[in-house]
Structure 1
Amino acid sequence: MSKTTKKVLILLVIVALIAIIPLFALKGAEFGGSDDAGSQVVSEIKGTEYTPWFTPVMETWIGGELPGEIESLLFCVQTGIGVGIMAFLMGRFVERNKKEKAKKASEI
């Protein structure tokens, strides 16, 4: 096995452990969004006298709360856009390295 193959295998094992260990270590834990946690802390500190500064844009447009499916869809679209940008940039870096290596090889 080459060094690169060993590195890739070690990284894959680390990624798998990062994904699996919390599933077993955090049995019975409740996972919630930061919005919920933040509003709970604010209500503990301020009580009932707190009024939000603004309403969410999407809720203003549709005149109510978003259904869970739509909220999940928007989150997935946002994730897809982010992954697309990251993949594009990584591809650019790989191609740049290939061109630089080819240029150095042709100069020698």
Structure 2
Amino acid sequence: MNANTKSTNKANWILLLLAVVLIITPLILNSGAEYGGADGEAEDLIGQINPEYKPWFSSIYEPPSGEIESLLFSTQAALGAGVIGYYLGSRRRK
């Protein structure tokens, strides 16, 4: 290993550690807090502003539980990240 590879490797570990700290810190500081989605908050606010409001469409598929909803969301995020990563990697290769 040359000096440039060592410094890059060290920088990668520092960035990884920083990412872990950024992920864990809010969980520790807000322990016991409930995390809700923006959709539910928006629905509540619309109900307060206009109680007679009726949605003009409903969901095509309603997951049976929050765990399945989280699974579908994370799968969608992983597929999107994979497509973007593939595209960026193929563009860099050219």
- Give the 4+ runs in structure 1 shifted more than 2 A: 69-74, 93-96
SS, match of residue 57 in structure 2: coil
- Of Structure 1 and Structure 2, the greater helix share is in 1
Which digits, 9 at most, give the CA deviation of each residue in 1:43-100, with x for residues without a partner?
12112x1111211223xxxxxx43125433432331231122123124324534xxxx
Structure possessing the higher radius of gyration over alpha carbons: 1
Match of 1:39 in 2: 43
2:74 is equivalent to residue 76 of structure 1:
yes
- RMSD of aligned residue pairs (Cα, Å): 2.1
Unaligned runs of 5+ in 1: 59-64, 97-108
Unaligned runs of 5+ in 2: none
Instruction: Give the count of matched residue pairs.
Output: 89
State how 1:1-108 maps to structure 2 within 5 Å. 2-47=6-51, 49-58=52-61, 65-68=62-65, 70-96=68-94
Q: Distance in 1 between matches of 2:15 and 2:41?
A: 33
Q: Distance in 2 between matches of 1:27 and 1:73?
A: 23
Identity %: 37
